[in-house]
């Protein structure tokens, strides 16, 4: 049967992935299942909670078909964050669609809280500025606007949580209702100093705290699989749960301050550890990276709302097959010809935080070609990351030497070299698409006394910055375009 393995789940916005990982770092099997999102109104974004769970069941079954008879010592979960799932405690049926992290349906409610002077109180407790990205305002919206959820709340049967809690509930047949501190810290209802749900935050948002899961350390034993839940046998323990960005930081081997991790996905997340709990003064978020037996690791983070999704969007607008085709087109020109694209397609996230901002293209002339617009799109992805990186340096008060990249779009060497050039810092990329799953697996192995070795089949790519003559011009044009987007 061989040595025990960890089954690591990485439940993301566009797909659910899973790995079977052995203690020597070898990936024995991998599986993926796609997920669709729905956009029923301008600014709204949601998914089927049942389809999220079914996709996870699918990848688990796929792994076990690839490795029949494998001994699974435990499960680790990395998940899309800030997405809110609500369900019936008796039947397990969702009470409403899962409201995605990208959803802006509560923008007006959040603006009203800002106007009412609530932001300093919320930010002091959570490290997070009031924003519809976070689940607090979403939960208030659900119990106010969804009659089925309101009825369940009245009957004491409503349950609500982030995706990790939803998966845990289903894996354990409803026996375990918990979340980890990293996911809890992203709800805007969790006090990151006391490590508890905060009654004052619940009152501010109008969100019922009694429907929320029990917060636990990220390396807790969260429960065991139910025999009818999935293809796994009963009794397999869930040994680690982290938000996907936190898991990626852990997967990069970061255990102390000084290194920035960037995940290039639908949106992007940059995160770096801090020596203690700090409040950002430059548009970033304080967060809990993870909690383990060693204590609580704090971090600051910048969330970019539309990142690699900008390339897919622009490819569609230009009639190209996909982002790869857009990248190939971008590489046919040496620069963007003065064209700047601001991909504020769902507002602007960190460090600007403006929900009303919309996308714009500037600098077009009769000499502009589709290739210039394509290149401007990839520049925009890299420039948004550079803005957050710079904000981190200002918050920390020191120069940060390198960026460690992961996520689907990091596989594009053109983008990674462009990032190094525009950031003027070294970029390191591990040749492993599922770095979040691997980070969660590493934590799970540690809970059972194993140190996960690096995967012998992966390597690290290094992109050193070059000195393009037009870097200053690109940065100046970008900042001017951002200022105009923020004023619009």
Written as one string, the DSSP assignment of 243-273 is: EHHHHHHHHTT--STT-EEEEESSSEEEEEE
Phi-psi region for residue 104, left (φ > 0), alpha (ψ -120 to 50) or beta?
alpha
Structure tokens at 6: 């960890």
CATH code: domain of residue 30? 3.30.420.40
Preceding peptide of 351 cis, ω within 30°:
yes
Q: Give CA–CA dist 442/453, Å, rounded.
A: 9
3-state SS string for 148-210: HHHHHHHCCCEEEECHHHHHHHHHCCCCCCEEEHHHHCCCCCEECCCCEECHHHHHHHCCCHH
Domain count, the chain: 1
Tokens of 468: 């393009």
pTM surpassing 0.85? yes
Query: How far is Cα 346 from Cα 201, in angstroms, rounded to an integer?
Result: 26
Nearest residue to 165 (alpha-carbon basis) of 249, 94, 235, 106: 94
Q: What element of type H or E holds 133?
A: none
Residues of the chain with pLDDT under 50: 1
Cα separation, 443 vs 416, in Å, equals 28
**Strands of the sheet with 402-406, listed across from one edge:** 285-292, 295-304, 268-274, 260-264, 402-406, 426-430, 460-463
Under DSSP, is residue 15 helix (H, G, I), strand (E, B) or coil? strand
Please tell me the predicted confidence (pLDDT) of residue 2. Answer: 58
Per-residue pLDDT, 454: 67
Q: pLDDT (tens digit, 9 = 90+) per residue, 369-422?
A: 999 999 999 999 999 999 999 999 999 988 898 899 988 899 999 999 999 999
Question: Are the C-beta atoms of residues 66 and 42 closer than 8 Å to each other?
Answer: no
Q: Do residues 20 and 67 lie in contact, with contact meaning Cβ atoms separated by under 8 Å? A: yes
- Residue 433: per-residue pLDDT: 72
* Helix boundaries (H) for 25-72: 49-66
Residue 154 covered by a domain:
yes
pLDDT at 455 (0 to 100) = 61
Q: What is the pLDDT of residues 345-373, one digit of tens each?
A: 988 999 998 888 999 999 999 999 999 99
Domain range enclosing 73: 5-245
The answer as to whether 416 is a domain residue is: no
Nearest to 120 by CA among 112, 135, 130, 110: 130
**Looking at the domain assignment, is residue 234 inside a domain?**
yes
Computed on alpha carbons and rounded to an integer, the radius of gyration of the chain in Å comes to: 22
Between CA 436 and CA 62, with CA 69 as vertex, the angle to 5 degrees is 50
Residue 168 covered by a domain: yes
Q: Which residues pair with 147 in a beta bridge?
A: none
Instruction: Give, to the nearest 10 degrees, the angle between helix 413-423 and helix 370-396.
Output: 50
Residue 344 lies in a domain: no
Tokens 């390191």 sit at which residue?
A: 428
Question: How far is 38 from 353, CA to CA, in rounded Å?
Answer: 24
Rounded-to-integer distance, Cα 483 and Cα 488, Å: 9
CA distance 60 to 225: 12
pLDDT of residue 1: 46
Degrees to nearest 5, angle at CA 313 with 310 and 319 = 140
The single residue listed with the structure tokens 């490795």 is 67
297: enclosing H helix or E strand: strand 295-304
> In this structure, is residue 9 part of a structural domain?
yes
Could you tell me which of 434, 407, 322 has the C-alpha nearest to residue 31? Answer: 434
Inside any domain, residue 368: no
In order, the DSSP letters of 371-424 are HHHHHHHHHHHHHHHHHHHHHHHHHHTS---EEEEESGGGG-HHHHHHHHHHHT
| Domain contains 315 | no
């Amino acid at each position: 049967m061989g040595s025990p393995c960890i089954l690591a789940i990485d439940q993301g916005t566009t797909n659910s992935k899973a790995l079977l990982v052995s203690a020597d770092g070898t990936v024995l099997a991998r599986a993926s299942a796609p997920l669709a999102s729905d956009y029923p109104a301008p600014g709204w974004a949601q998914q089927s909670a049942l389809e999220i769970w079914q996709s996870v069941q699918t990848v688990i079954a796929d792994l076990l078909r690839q490795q029949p008879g494998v001994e699974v010592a435990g499960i680790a979960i990395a998940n899309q964050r800030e997405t809110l799932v609500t369900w019936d405690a008796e039947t397990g049926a969702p009470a409403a669609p899962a409201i995605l992290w990208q959803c802006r349906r509560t923008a007006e409610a959040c603006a009203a809280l800002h106007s009412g002077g609530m932001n300093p109180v919320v930010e002091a407790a959570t490290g997070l500025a009031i924003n519809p990205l976070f689940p607090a305002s979403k939960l208030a919206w659900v119990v106010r606007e969804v009659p089925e959820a309101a009825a369940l709340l009245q009957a004491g049967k409503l349950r609500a949580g982030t995706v990790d809690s939803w998966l845990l509930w289903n894996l354990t047949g409803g026996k375990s209702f918990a979340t980890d501190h990293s996911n809890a810290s992203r709800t805007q209802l969790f006090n990151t100093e006391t490590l508890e749900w905060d009654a004052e935050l619940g009152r501010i948002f109008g969100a019922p705290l009694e429907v929320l899961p029990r917060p636990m350390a990220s390396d807790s034993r969260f429960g065991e699989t139910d025999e009818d839940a999935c293809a796994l046998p009963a009794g397999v323990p869930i040994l680690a749960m982290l938000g996907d960005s936190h898991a990626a930081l852990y997967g990069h081997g970061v255990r102390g301050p000084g290194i920035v991790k960037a995940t290039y996905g639908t949106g992007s997340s940059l995160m770096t550890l801090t020596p203690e709990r700090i409040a950002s003064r430059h548009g970033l978020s304080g967060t809990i990276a993870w909690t383990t037996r060693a204590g609580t690791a704090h971090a600051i983070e910048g969330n970019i709302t539309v990142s690699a999704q900008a390339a897919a969007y622009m490819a569609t607008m230009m009639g190209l097959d996909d982002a790869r085709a857009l990248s190939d087109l971008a590489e046919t020109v040496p620069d963007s010809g003065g064209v700047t694209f601001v991909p504020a397609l769902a507002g602007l996230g960190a460090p600007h935080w403006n929900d009303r901002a919309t996308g714009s293209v500037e600098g077009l002339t009769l000499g502009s070609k589709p290739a210039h617009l394509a290149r401007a799109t990839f520049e925009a992805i890299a420039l948004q990351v550079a803005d957050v990186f710079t904000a981190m340096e200002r918050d920390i008060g020191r120069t940060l030497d390198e960026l460690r990249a992961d996520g689907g779009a990091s596989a594009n060497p053109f983008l990674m070299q462009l990032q190094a050039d525009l950031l003027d810092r070294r970029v390191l990329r591990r040749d492993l698409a599922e770095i979040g799953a691997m980070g969660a697996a590493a934590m799970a192995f540690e809970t059972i006394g194993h140190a996960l070795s690096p995967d012998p089949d992966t390597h690290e790519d290094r992109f050193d910055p070059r000195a393009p003559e037009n870097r200053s011009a690109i940065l100046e044009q970008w900042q001017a375009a951002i200022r105009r987007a923020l004023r619009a």
